[in-house]
Structure 1
Amino acid sequence: MKDTSKPALHGWLVLDKPRGMGSTQAVGKVKRLLRESGYAKTKVGHGGTLDPLAEGVLPIALGEATKLAGRMLDSDKIYDFTIAFGEETDTLDSEGEVIARSDRFPPLAAIAGMLDHFTGEIEQLPPAYSAILVDGKRAYDLARAGEEVKLQPRRVTIHSLGFAGGAGRSGEGRMLGSSFQNQGGRPDPFSATAPLKVAEAVTLTAHVSKGTYIRSLARDIALALGSRGHVTYLRRTKAGPFREQQAISLDFAGESDKGPRLDDLILPLEAGLDDISALSLDRTSAQAVRQGRVLSGMPQLPGLYLAKLGDVPVALVEIEGGTAKVVRGFNLPDVAE
């Protein structure tokens, strides 16, 4: 019999999700890891779906942090992604069937000049292969069944869009034609003395709002450049406040005998609320908030606050007109009783 004497965990496990694993699979693996490590039954959820072909930052919410998963879904994200020009697929990634081809490969200078046109608020048509509900069914289920999927365009915001850096993922991508080397030894496609170069593929970085589909963005950039394209590489490097430097692999988290304990890898619940000011409560006020009562005579500016008793989160509260109302309460140990 498994020892379940360890208390349930509350907080965030930031995973570096590998390619080929679905977000739901990742949640299942974390549940099994918790169970095998002897922790009490813990509610587990994720803070933003990543396609199986995508990799990178996947925040996993544990215990009371699952109450914040919705906020994480609404947060901005940052992605590195590679567009391969010349072919568009039905899924808009390398998993799908080719539905259109083009023999045009855009010049690098044209790519650079086009990026500003996709920065700011734009209208975007989601992919047919997406999790959007259409008459109660997932769009990807309808598409896989061969049914026509009609989706409505949506407004999204591209906060920034540019060539990606990073070793091995140069924004210049794969080039056709002769190359001009700058002093650093890398191709300089914008040099006045360099011959015209075109790209078979390019890797970009995009900081986007919720609801943005990178596959659609890649399709639309390729079309605007007079070509066709699809995503061959997609990595999320930031989700809300969580960055890839904080992310760990599931294999590492599971090696309890070879590395840190699982509870040492968990970030606190408030790590997902780095943009919210803290509100300190005394024991009496904490008890009132825990019971859902309104606090009056609050001198703080209007807005959302994380109410805490000492170091323990009690609730998210909204202050307006000098009163604080509970938005979301947390049932964590050591809160005033």
Structure 2
Amino acid sequence: MGRKRKGRDISGWLVVDKPAGLTSTAVVNKVRWALDANKAGHAGTLDPEATGVLAVALGEATKTVPYITDALKAYRFTIRLGQATNTDDAEGEVIATSDIRPDDATIKEALHAFVGDIMQVPPRFSAVKIDGERAYKLARDDAEFEIAARPLWVEELVMTDRPDADHVVLEMTCGKGGYVRSIARDLGEALGCHAHVVTLRRVWSGPFEATDGLTLDQIDAMARTPELDAHVLPLETGLADLPELRCTPEGAAKLRNGNPGMVLASDVEYGDEAWASLDGHAVAVGIYKAGELHPSRVFNRD
């Protein structure tokens, strides 16, 4: 029999406005301590120097993390023209330079190639696995390796400011698995001048906004109090992109046991993924088939 985790059985989401200089894991550990939660995880890693929305899932809400990970996200970032680094951000060593500085019109025109379905190669200093090893570990050892390009959906990529000749501010909305550092690197190559990320902020992720996030100072000040509990959003927030189906008490009982349960008629189609609720509380996520939800994830809450 497994050892019971220490802490409270608390489920929901806490939105953090992550500061620069901390890993996403460190933020999750801080939230878990502050809420005395027995289980916590995050929906989408931010680089240590990046800031912005980091949605921390608690308890049963960790089962909804994939739906936030798959959701669209928006980033605001500044790139430095004229320099390439080995990490594609300001933390790395400069490995190439250029005196070329494209004008605004040229930059805006080049952005079109990075919108829609694109193929992107992640940075060498990233958590991508290569034959079981993290790419950043191989890169630190100066190992020779290749990272395969992977598909990315970019909804929008626009230039919003040009503070000076060397710097450009961009905003991007994209799907799962996007690397802003790769966008900066590839844009610099397309412009013939090199580029890397200087600052990066995640503005929103799925239903979560950075402006609604708590700072770590606020979390520290409210730690282990009902005041912090009041900031925990419902588990159901993580299911905002899925259709909701209401079920009967009998259907809910079957779903909680992992069996198909009857749900009330709705406009979802056969084979659609959806979630079932009873009295507004999520019971399960699954596939809708002929009046029943076939569960893939069940929420165990009193």
Root-mean-square deviation (CA), in Å?
Answer: 2.0
Partner of 2:289: 320
Partner of 1:195: none
Q: Kindly report which structure 2 residues correspond to 1:257-272, keeping only aligned pairs within 5 A, or say none.
A: 261-272=227-238
Answering whether residue 14 of structure 2 is matched by residue 24 of structure 1, we say: no
Determine the C-alpha separation between the residues in 2 that align with 1:56 and 1:20: 12
| Sequence identity percentage | 41
AA matched with 2:174 = V
Q: Provide closer, same or farther for how the CA distance between residues 260 and 297 of structure 1 changes in structure 2, counting only shifts above 3 A.
A: closer
Aligned length: 294
CA shift at 1:10, angstroms?
A: 0.6
Determine the C-alpha separation between the residues in 1 that align with 2:119 and 2:17: 30
Length-normalised TM-score, structure 1: 0.83
Is the radius of gyration larger for structure 1 or structure 2? 1
Q: Of the candidates 155, 165, 188, which is equivalent to residue 159 of structure 1?
A: 155
Determine the C-alpha separation between the residues in 1 that align with 2:46 and 2:250: 43
Determine the C-alpha separation between the residues in 1 that align with 2:121 and 2:8: 45
Determine the C-alpha separation between the residues in 2 that align with 1:318 and 1:230: 43
Answering whether residue 79 of structure 2 is matched by residue 83 of structure 1, we say: yes
AA matched with 1:71 = Y
Deviating 4+ runs (over 4 angstroms): none
Determine the C-alpha separation between the residues in 2 that align with 1:220 and 1:208: 16
AA matched with 2:166 = E
Determine the C-alpha separation between the residues in 2 that align with 1:225 and 1:85: 9
AA matched with 1:253 = I
Partner of 1:190: none
AA matched with 1:249 = T
AA matched with 1:328 = R
CA shift at 1:320, angstroms?
A: 2.2
Determine the C-alpha separation between the residues in 1 that align with 2:163 and 2:96: 22
CA shift at 1:219, angstroms?
A: 0.8
Alpha carbons 2:89, 2:196 under 8 Å: kept: yes
Partner of 2:107: 111
AA matched with 2:53 = V
Alpha carbons 1:12, 1:65 under 8 Å: kept: yes
Q: Kindly report which structure 2 residues correspond to 1:302-317, keeping only aligned pairs within 5 A, or say none.
A: 302=269, 303-317=272-286
Q: Provide closer, same or farther for how the CA distance between residues 323 and 312 of structure 1 changes in structure 2, counting only shifts above 3 A.
A: closer
Determine the C-alpha separation between the residues in 2 that align with 1:292 and 1:63: 19
AA matched with 1:243 = E
> Which stretch shows the higher mean deviation, 310-319 or 211-220?
310-319
Length-normalised TM-score, structure 2: 0.92
Partner-residue secondary structure (3-state), 2:126: coil
Determine the C-alpha separation between the residues in 1 that align with 2:301 and 2:42: 20
AA matched with 1:216 = S
Partner of 1:229: 195
Answering whether residue 206 of structure 2 is matched by residue 205 of structure 1, we say: no
Partner-residue secondary structure (3-state), 2:162: coil
Q: Provide closer, same or farther for how the CA distance between residues 32 and 82 of structure 1 changes in structure 2, counting only shifts above 3 A.
A: same
CA shift at 1:297, angstroms?
A: 8.0
Partner of 2:64: 68
Determine the C-alpha separation between the residues in 1 that align with 2:148 and 2:45: 20
CA shift at 1:97, angstroms?
A: 0.5
Partner-residue secondary structure (3-state), 1:129: coil
CA shift at 1:214, angstroms?
A: 0.6
Q: Provide closer, same or farther for how the CA distance between residues 297 and 241 of structure 1 changes in structure 2, counting only shifts above 3 A.
A: closer
Determine the C-alpha separation between the residues in 2 that align with 1:209 and 1:24: 22
CA shift at 1:311, angstroms?
A: 2.5
Answering whether residue 89 of structure 2 is matched by residue 93 of structure 1, we say: yes
Structure 1 unmatched ranges of 5 or more: 1-5, 36-40, 165-170, 175-198
Answering whether residue 212 of structure 2 is matched by residue 246 of structure 1, we say: yes
Partner of 2:4: none
CA shift at 1:317, angstroms?
A: 2.6
Determine the C-alpha separation between the residues in 2 that align with 1:27 and 1:19: 14
Q: Deviations over 1:89-133 (max 9, x none)?
A: 000000000111111111111112211121111121111001000
Alpha carbons 2:276, 2:293 under 8 Å: kept: no
CA shift at 1:309, angstroms?
A: 1.5
Alpha carbons 1:158, 1:209 under 8 Å: kept: yes
